Amino acid sequence: GAVVSQHPSWVICKSGTSVKIECRSLDFQATTMFWYRQFPKQSLMLMATSNEGSKATYEQGVEKDKFLINHASLTLSTLTVTSAHPEDSSFYICSVRGGSGRVGEQFFGPGTRLTVL
């Protein structure tokens, strides 16, 4: 399977600032990546699907202007939380869709914990 990394693993920021989270596919060219958010004691909720070279597709209720996604290469997708507020504090996890024969599988990064003060 694919190895996925995220950076940073945790970040603390002040309210109103922007934070960028990187998701890298280390050994696999990923045309499609996904961004999830997980609140404490809850399951993962899909935020958006990131497609290399095109605009991301956002799930209903996710503000695309607040959560900016850029998938500029086959190995890197970034999520920028703009003008972060305390309610944006969460665990953000990215994933990579499997390749041929494994399209239905996703490989997950270790997650990034965002705390907004």
Residue 20 or 108: the one with the smaller Cβ distance to other proteins is: 108
- Tokens for 56, please give them: 């991301």
- Tokens for 57, please give them: 């597709």
Amino acid at 14: K
Residue 32 or 82: the one with the smaller Cβ distance to other proteins is: 32
Amino acid at 7: H
Residues within the interface to other proteins (CB under 8 A): 1, 32, 34, 41-44, 46, 49, 93, 95, 97, 102-106, 108-111, 113
Residue 40 or 86: the one with the smaller Cβ distance to other proteins is: 40
Report the nearest approach of other proteins to the CB of residue 16 (Å): 26
- Tokens for 50, please give them: 């990131």
- Tokens for 16, please give them: 């109103």
